[in-house]
Structure 1
Amino acid sequence: MTIDPAAYREEWEGRVAFITGAVTGIGLGTAQAFADAGMRLALSWRNEDDRAATEAWFAEKGYEKPLFCKLDVTDREAFAQVAQDVARHFGEVHVLVNNAGVSVFGPTDEASYDDYDWIMGVNFGGVVNGLQSFMPHIKASTGRRHIVNVASMAAFLPGPQAGIYTASKFAVRGLTDSLRYNLAPQKIGCSLCCPALTRTNAWASAHKRPEQFADAGFAPPREGELEQFGTAFEQFGMDPYEVGAKILRGMTRQDGLILTHPEHAIDFTEEFAKQIAALPVEAVPEGRAHIEALRRKAGKDAEAGLKIEMDDLT
């Protein structure tokens, strides 16, 4: 990894960022990269030992202690209170990274309502809650501002054991790609980050299932099954700090899409070919072609910072 977060200090030093799920995995790697770029941080956490270890890292580096906010991202009232606390503590909030998520696997045809409610509630609902809680504060702040929603390569590449997880990440992708158009006229950047295999403990999410979602349709993992799955993350996963540094670079470049793992070029090539092959080969009526041309123009205008109205689409 050749990205040096300190190279981006001029852009981000003193900017305030709030990161969810920030004391382990990609959230922690992002927090560390942001700190190395001189940013001030508020970090959400659930586990006391992980919070303490993160605080120790900042102390060892001689960095300002982050504002630690205990938070379940599905709790809307608590999220709103955290946003108020962060804004009050720092005065302004410039960056939001919606990172917290759960990785739970099983055949979609066997899923229960609880499976859907838990996974979608955290992975998509948590992003919604972050946006709803922090957007007013970010809009009220000045200077360089940015929102990053962390999804997954599953936002593009579905799999047979990850139907609900994939649905949640597709939803985050669609929300983020649309939100970008709305924020551009307000000079607020917006990025979708889709990491792949990273050295995290995300595979252990099934061990942390809340009691209110106990009615699982998926069979319990066989003894040692999850641990064996986790060896792939530990042995071959990307360093979370590298993911965080790539997020920082993408924010600086105003990249709408931040892809961190180069090994998926073959997947994107195959997916694109399938989509093109599925299109009918036939003449397009002039009226439909005109409407689609207006849609394309509206998208480009929005990315250029123009506000798009409904009238622009017909």
Structure 2
Amino acid sequence: MGKTWNGADYRDQWAGRVAFVTGAVTGIGLGVAQAFADAGMQLALSYRNEDDRAATAEWFAQKGYAEPLFIKLDVTDRDGFARAADKVVQHFGEVHVLVNNAGVSVFGPTDEASYDDYDWIMGVNFGGVVNGLVSFLPRIKASQGRRHVVNIASMAAFLPGPQAGIYTASKFAVRGLTESLRYNLAPHGIGCSLCCPALTRTNAWKSAQKRPDAFADSGFAPTPDAVLEQFGTAFEEGMDPYEVGCKILAGMTQQDGLILTHPEHGPDFEELHEKMMAALPVEDAPPGRLHIEELRRKAMRDAEAGLIIKLDDLT
């Protein structure tokens, strides 16, 4: 039997902290919100669908928890995100944790993709993270005590697939942004984690049915509902979103830069490592280049230790 995950195990670390979670009334976002609530955190949750918001409010009521601050938000709306950040601080006084979770799972052959396909998927999956960071980081920096940023990507941030080109690009972008951001936030005493979950019991497969009219000109052939529903059956085998949320809590508590929630991808990482090592040229590098790379490695270690790194530290 595996470990039984419970957000209450982390109350001593996070009780009273204020968290804002995007896409937080379904799927992984809801799992994160529930785990955070069990850890005693005060919550502001973004949502799009009123029925999902009502169901989430009912869960909190049944648990005897205070109702979260619900904020209706399209994560691509920069002005809306700024207003959301203001509401959170006005309501709670501070904000300590940001979880950028909202995203769309849309697939199709990349060689047939249109501009609308790129703009929609990248706009939500990467642009939504950017909007969260720009809106909330100044407010998190101005707050006190334990603070953390979690950007939720996907195992696609490491493992591309033939039907997931734009989706994969968006998750690679979130990965690169987050791994760099960690070094920038360390000097401010703010933790930063990249979470890459894999198959989870969500309705993410329905994203293609929620395409905005503004991005209607898709290059992908329409997917018949029966095919999409068959694809959705795979998600029934997925991890419970609450377990994902608890694993994120555990990673935050341990100050992990990378949070991997699913154990089944060991063979993929072994194969990836072997391919990368095999691709390296078998030859000596000149001393000058070796010196520059050692400076880069030192800068990364120093940044993670809390030092501010400037350009002249790299040469």
- Give TM-score scaled by structure 2 length: 0.99
Choose the corresponding residue for 1:175, options 167, 174, 177: 177
Alignment of 1:203-218 (within 5 A): 203-218=205-220
Shift of 1:13: 0.3
Provide, for residues 209-229 of structure 1, a one-character-per-residue CA deviation record: whole Å limited to 9, x for no partner. 000000000000023011000
Distance 1:160 1:224 in 2: 21
Aligned to 1:242: 243
Choose the corresponding residue for 1:53, options 48, 55, 60: 55
Distance 2:26 2:50 in 1: 11
Structure 1 unaligned blocks of 5 or more: none
Aligned to 2:226: 224
Aligned to 2:311: 310
Secondary structure at the aligned position of 1:92 is classed as coil
Provide, for residues 282-314 of structure 1, a one-character-per-residue CA deviation record: whole Å limited to 9, x for no partner. 111000000000000000111111111111100
Shift of 1:4: 2.2
Aligned to 2:38: 36
For these two proteins, the number of residue pairs brought into alignment is 313
Distance 1:58 1:3 in 2: 19
Alignment of 1:192-207 (within 5 A): 192-207=194-209
Amino acid at match of 2:182: R
Aligned to 2:139: 137
Shift of 1:5: 1.4
Shift of 1:267: 0.2
Amino acid at match of 2:275: K
Choose the corresponding residue for 1:75, options 77, 98, 114: 77
Amino acid at match of 1:132: V
Percent identity, please: 79
Aligned to 1:289: 290
Distance 2:92 2:305 in 1: 31
Distance 1:58 1:233 in 2: 25
Secondary structure at the aligned position of 1:183 is classed as helix
Aligned to 2:267: 266
Shift of 1:3: 2.4
Provide, for residues 46-67 of structure 1, a one-character-per-residue CA deviation record: whole Å limited to 9, x for no partner. 0000000000000000001100
Amino acid at match of 2:74: D
Question: Cα RMSD (Å) of the superposition?
Answer: 0.5
Secondary structure at the aligned position of 2:225 is classed as coil
Distance 1:269 1:34 in 2: 33
Distance 2:183 2:135 in 1: 20
Distance 2:127 2:6 in 1: 33
Aligned to 1:9: 11
Distance 1:296 1:13 in 2: 36
Aligned to 2:99: 97
- Give TM-score scaled by structure 1 length: 0.99
Provide, for residues 132-157 of structure 1, a one-character-per-residue CA deviation record: whole Å limited to 9, x for no partner. 00011100000000000000000000
Secondary structure at the aligned position of 2:71 is classed as strand
Distance 1:89 1:136 in 2: 17
Secondary structure at the aligned position of 1:298 is classed as helix
Provide, for residues 173-221 of structure 1, a one-character-per-residue CA deviation record: whole Å limited to 9, x for no partner. 0000000000001100000000000000000000000000000000000
Whether 1:88 aligns to 2:90 is: yes
Provide, for residues 81-136 of structure 1, a one-character-per-residue CA deviation record: whole Å limited to 9, x for no partner. 00000011000000000000000000000000000000000000000000000011
Choose the corresponding residue for 1:189, options 188, 191, 194: 191
Secondary structure at the aligned position of 1:148 is classed as strand
Distance 2:275 2:300 in 1: 24
Structure 2 unaligned blocks of 5 or more: none
Distance 1:3 1:114 in 2: 40
Shift of 1:7: 1.5
Amino acid at match of 1:240: P
